[in-house]
Structure formats: C-alpha cells, structure tokens
A and B are shown apart, each in its own frame.
Chain A
Amino acid sequence: MSEVKTSEPLFSKKNMELIKNPLNQINPVTIQVLGICSALAVTVQMDNAIVMSIAVTAVLVIGNLLVSLMRNVIPGRIRIIVQLVVVAALVIIVDQILKAYVYDVSKSLSVFVGLIITNCIIMGRLEAFALGNKPWASILDGVGNGFGYGLVLMVVAFFKEILGSGTLTIPGLGKLTIIPESFFDWGYMNNGLMLLPPSSLFIVGIYIWVQKAKNPELIEA
C-alpha cells in the first residue's frame, strides 16, 4: 500500500484520535444522534447487541475502505447511489453470514440487519470522512465509530437485560444468571418495563444526561 509509506507513522497521535474521539466527544449515537433505530431496538439481550455491533463495525470499516479507495473515481453527482450500492452489497454478505453461523440471533435481529443499509452512521461516515480521506485513516475512522456505536448498544443492553430478566446472554458463554435466586425470595422482582421498547429510550436519555454532565462543553445551548 502506497499510503503507508507517507511520513506519518501508522498509529500517530492524529490517527489514534480517530479511534478515541467517537467513543466520547463525538459519539455517533448520543452526540451526533445517528443510527438510533437499531441502537434502541436490538438491545433486549446482550448477544443481539454484540452481534449487531460487530456487523455494523464490519460494514462500516469495509465500506469506508472501499469508498476511500474509489474516492477519486466516483462522480460527485451519483455518489449517494454508489455508496448505497457498496453498503447494500456488504449488508447482504453480512446477512448471509449471520444466517449461516448464528441463525438464532439473525432471527431475533429480523429486519434490523437489513436496516444497516439505511443506518445513518454508515452513510454519514462514508459521506463525511471516506470521500475525503486516505484508506488507512478511513479504516481507523470506521473502527472508532463502530466501537462508539457498539459501546452505547452494550451499555443499553446491559441494563435492559439485567434489570429486565436478571440474566446476561454472552455469545460463547450462554445465559448467565446475574441476579441470584435468593434475591427473588426476599421480594426482588424483574422490571417488566425493561423488556418493552420505551425503556431503551429512557436509558439512552439518562446516558446522554450523565455523559453531558461529565463533559459540560457538549451541552446544547
């Protein structure tokens, strides 16, 4: 790759910031408010959230790389269509892989795998970053934003699953019981609201609250 030979080291400070910033200051979900649909809908169980984060990160990284490689040959007028085709093709591959290897998760994600195509994080990063930057930086940007998205997803899924059903489903380990049986004997109850859609909105709302309280420069005027 010719890009690597430039004077800048692979993991320079600037490149590391591409990965670090999306986790907090410019988090795609909580600060830029992109890609919310899937972030809210697939978080009833931890394993769904993990698989979805990996799927989105993979599409984002490969899509960023492809668009960045093609950035000088894509005509400006049809760039949206080109981006849609790249993303749709990648999502079809991801969908087939999920169906082949983790069929149960793919069933419970249902239409949300297809909706990765219209996930605004992906279109947003392709449009705002990959079209104007070199491949290596685009890959790092994809990794960073994918992790930023995954972080929010996992936090939401963590609280929803523990409070809602008292378990944590992690791929490879199965369903782990977190709240011990004895709690229930003393009168503890699972919060049924946590299994319903509105609870993810509350959790993301509180997440934004905590995040902005810790970083006052992010507060909206």
Chain B
Amino acid sequence: MEYINIFIKSAFIDNMIFTFFFGMCSYLAVSKTVKTAVGLGSAVIFVLVVTIPINYLLETLVLQEGALAWLGDDYANMDLSFLSFIMFIAVIASIVQLVEMLVEKFSPALYGALGIFLPLIAVNCAILGAALFMQQKQFANIGQATVYGLGSGFGWFLAIVLIAAIREKIKYSHIPAPLRGVGMAFILTGLMGLAFLGFLGFEL
C-alpha cells in the first residue's frame, strides 16, 4: 500500500514537469514528435530507476550525518551532506555512461531506441532533481526510494508523450505567428498543469 501511495503521489500529484518544472529544457526540445518523446521518456524512467537506489545507498551509507558510523567511532559524527551535489552528479554521469555501454553490448535494439538520448540525460535536471528530492524526503528503505524513482520517471514520461501528441496535432492549426513553436508549448503546458492540479488533495 505504501508503495502504491508513493507511486501515485510522485507520478501524478507531484508530477515533475507540471509541479516542479524538472527537465523542462529537454521536455520542450524533444517533444516535437511522439516517437522521440517516447524514446526520451523511457530513457528517463530507466535512468531514474537505476540511479535513485544507488544515490539512496550513497546518501544513507556515506553522506548523511552519522552515516559513516559503520567505519568506527571516529567517524560517527561526520556530516558530509554538503558534498551531496558533487557526489550525486558524479554518480549520475558515470552510471549513465555505464548503462549506455551495457545496453549497447547486450541489447542493440534497446540501444537503437534509447541510444542518442542517454548522454543527454546526464545533464537533465529531472535526474538530479529527483535525487535531491529523494534526499529531502528521507525514505525509510531502498524499496520506497526505487518506487519514488519509478513514479517520478513515469510522470515525466506521461507529460512528454502528452505534449508531443498535442504538438503534432496543432502543427496545422492557425496560431498567431509570434506564439508559434515554443510560446504555444509553454501555454499548453500551463493548461495541462491546471488539469493536473485536479489530482491535488487526492489521498489513497
């Protein structure tokens, strides 16, 4: 039950795009067709599910105040949380690189679908943002953190596929010239965000 709750909350109520605007740059740049949107969206889910548990372990075993107690009493009072930015981004960048190599070796078909998007993701704020929120939310165990990663990724996937479908449709609509392209995408995202506000206060 707890897991379903976290999933629904992270995917719909705290949707990364509509509530926190995480990963807006690639969201706007890669949402011109549904096909590429599905590719990038799946890559984001994939990377989040892999990196969030690793960052969770890093947070609880190394960075948190008192997390280094397992090294001995001398280390029990260490608080390394100021290092979390650089540690998280290093983990994300290296995991993305590693995942890219593994996928290329073992699943050429998946590599064909996700390949070009993976390097982009290292600097996508959705990944680092989710890691920082995971740190703030203080999850009880690694399972909850993983479900949080999955839910956030799914919410992001949903948002980019929806906007891509709408942008494909409005390509032939009559829009005021100055608003064409990015301007309209902003307003559409705002309207979709209003719709997603309907999930607010939704409790399981």
A contact residues vs B (CB 8 Å cutoff): 30, 33-38, 40-41, 80-81, 84-85, 88-89, 91-92, 95-96, 110-111, 114-115, 117-120, 123, 196-202, 204-205, 208-213, 216, 219-220
Contact = CB atoms under 8 A, between A and B. Distances in A.
A131 B86 CA distance: 22
Given A33-B28, A115-B132, A220 B180 contact: yes
A70 to B, nearest CB: 18
B191 interface: yes
Interface residues of B, number: 46
A216 B176 CA distance: 12
Interface string B170-186: 00000011111111101
Contact of B86 (A92, A111, A210): A92
B20 interface: yes
Interface in B86-126: 86, 88-90, 93, 122-125
B100 to A, nearest CB: 13
Contact of A117 (B23, B83, B128, B177): B128
Contact of B20 (A37, A120, A212): A37
A197 B19 contact: yes
Given A36-B24, A40-B21, A118-B89, A202 B187 contact: yes
Contacts of A115: 22, 125, 128-129, 132
12 contacts: A35-B25, A36-B21, A37-B20, A88-B85, A115-B22, A120-B123, A199-B190, A201-B186, A202-B186, A210-B178, A212-B183, A216-B177
A198 B197 contact: yes
Secondary structure of the A contact surface, majority rule? helix
B21 A198 contact: no
Please name the 3 residue pairs, one residue from A and one from B, whose CB atoms are nearest each other, closest first: A201-B190, A198-B193, A212-B178
A219 B88 CA distance: 39
Given A92-B86, A120-B123, A208-B179, A111 B190 contact: no
Given A89-B86, A111-B136, A201-B193, A37 B93 contact: no
Contact of A95 (B28, B85, B89, B183): B85
Contact of B85 (A33, A91, A198, A220): A91
Given A197-B20, A197-B193, A208-B179, 18 more contacts: A36-B28, A37-B22, A37-B125, A80-B93, A88-B86, A95-B82, A114-B84, A115-B128, A115-B129, A118-B123, A118-B124, A118-B128, A197-B21, A198-B190, A201-B189, A201-B193, A212-B177, A216-B177
Contacts of A117: 85, 89, 128
Contact of A208 (B122, B129, B182): B182
Contacts of A85: 86
B143 to A, nearest CB: 22
B142 to A, nearest CB: 20
A24 to B, nearest CB: 14
A102 B182 CA distance: 35
Contacts of B133: 111
Interface string B124-144: 110111001100100000000
B204 interface: no
Contacts of B25: 33-37, 120
B71 interface: no
A43 to B, nearest CB: 10
A197 B189 CA distance: 11
